[in-house]
Structure 1
């Protein structure tokens, strides 16, 4: 689950519109047991709040048009990454994407299960800086309500779920190897929340990108092997049964010293004035 080509230069993890229908350029392979990278297939019933953003018009029907992930935090409210809705990812403003939908309750993108729900309203964080990757979140309002129990609670500032070493899980339909291998089924990877010092050392600034602990957190394994990758942007990072991050950016998928960087949910809550409870955003 992460970037398209070698993540030597840190950049967002959405599929680019230029990659429509055809595979992305391959990257240096990650660990041999890679799946989401270093993960495993998972039933969507285990994480009903994990959703896919799709547009067949922009990305073709090979994987039902999936290009990013998202997470339901209310029955009509989905969080995703701001860069998923940028011109680089979509080829133009999101308002010009005629068939932008959220697919919920569907683990296999090619199956008929679950629902495809039109997006009624889009709010992209005006504080998002696509160069620094700060403020990387957006809010989608759905045209129809999801079933009860579809939303996940969000961890507020000070929640122990943010503590370094905490076990977490990241979900998505992105690259499972770092080499352009895109599944049609939902995968998950077990990672750990890493300390700010580890993340700052990995991303000190310059071309690699700068880690900013007030709005970001990072997770993975210090020795590499499990990670998010290209196509996972906007998807959930969950710890202690609560949402703590949204897949945002990073270096090479699953590589030592190149952990995944996530939008910190406590910063999202602060910006939006939400309290973090399940369905609090409804």
Structure 2
């Protein structure tokens, strides 16, 4: 049976949320992450990718890992992109505006430290109304922060035609998610080097149905043909970067690091086009 990943990857999603509810009802502070980190990766410092942020709610996911449940990426001093499914009712238990302790954590390598970086309150959230949880099309959301991040925290976005999208080119995905595909969440930020893959590979792997439908206009295929390096549960909403620019957000797939099932990312050029943003 396939395991579709995102906060999601169909079997993972209800099991994770059930664990979170159980932990909270028992008064546990165990780290229960909603979605997971990088397979086949390596440790990095937050200062090396200051635009990589964590989404946090200690009330819902416990305090040991600072309540981290998804990733995000700063594209402006007060603007963060993440996956739409990260802000869904199934993850948060209700609309994001009702999660009083929803925070964005920036500049913190180790989630256990509780001292480094900033924890910034969320002023406003916007979830793409065209997001389709069946096909996974349009899986992005915008978070507006209550205060700006330090200068240098934002990354440039790659617009249509940018060479960073070239098939075969190298890219790096960042996150605090599952490092094995078996629920082994990382306390520290990690990254994995992958490649932008042909759309045809993801079209063959995800032709439609319960596992989602790959849409080349709004999605990006990345990973390794033979598997082994990939994003995983808990990485959702985090950045995929190539040539110093943001090209994707971690979105979905089947399993983690499996041959024949590359990672599917939100194509950032589609976000720019959808929102009418002119910057790249």
Q: Say if 2:201 is the partner of 1:207.
A: no
The answer to whether the Cα contact below 8 Å between 2:97 and 2:124 also exists between their aligned partners in 1 is no
Q: 1:88 to 1:165 in 2, by over 3 A?
A: same
Provide the rounded CA distance (Å) in 2 between the counterparts of 1:183 and 1:231. 9
Task: Please point out which of 151, 154, 161 is paired with 1:148.
Answer: 151
* Residue of structure 1 in register with 2:27 after alignment: none
Q: Hey, what's the Cα distance between the residues in 1 that align with 2:132 and 2:121?
A: 27
Which whole-Å CA distance do the structure 1 matches of 2:247 and 2:79 have between them?
16
Q: Which residue of 1 aligns with 2:62?
A: 60
> Structure 2 vs 1, CA of residues 74 and 190 (structure 1 numbering), >3 Å: closer, same or farther?
same
Question: Residue 13 of structure 1 contacts residue 229 of structure 1 at CA under 8 Å; is this kept in 2?
Answer: no
Give secondary structure in 2 for the equivalent of 1:157. Answer: coil
Q: 1:167 and 2:170 equivalent?
A: yes
Give the SS at the match of 2:191. Answer: strand
Corresponding residue SS for 1:68 = strand
Question: Which residue of 189, 192, 195 maps to 2:195?
Answer: 192
Tell me, yes or no, if structure 1 residue 138 matches structure 2 residue 141: yes
Change (3 A) 1:23 1:152: closer
1:275 aligns with 2:252: no
Confirm or deny: 8 A CA contact 1:9 1:207 kept in the other structure: no
The Cα of 1:10 is off from its aligned counterpart by 2.5
Look up the match of 1:70: 72
Structure 2, unpaired ranges of 5+: 24-29
* Separation (CA, whole Å) in 1 of partners of 2:31 and 2:98: 24
Whether 1:12 aligns to 2:6 is yes
C-alpha displacement of 1:38: 0.4
How much does 1:48 deviate?
0.1
Offset at residue 207 of structure 1 (A): 2.6
After superposition, give the CA deviation of every residue in 1:115-140 in whole Å (9 maximum; x if it has no partner).
00000000111111111111000000
Structure 1: runs of 5+ lacking an equivalent? 1-5, 26-34, 278-282
C-alpha distance after superposition, 1:109-167 (max 9, x if no partner): 11110000000000111111111111000000001111111000000001111111010
Deviation at 1:276, TM superposition (A): 3.1
Retained in 2: the 8 A contact 1:23–1:180?
no
Q: Which has the higher contact order (CA 8 A, sep 6+)?
A: 1
Deviation per residue, 1:162-204 (Å, 9 max, x gap): 1110100000000000010001100000000000111111111
Deviations 1:11-39 (A, max 9, x none): 424674433256779xxxxxxxxx82000
TM-score, with length taken from structure 1:
0.89
Distance 1:178 1:23, change over 3 A: farther
Q: Normalization by structure 2: what TM-score? A: 0.90
SS of the aligned residue for 1:57 comes to helix
The answer to whether the 8 A contact 2:83-2:237 is kept is yes
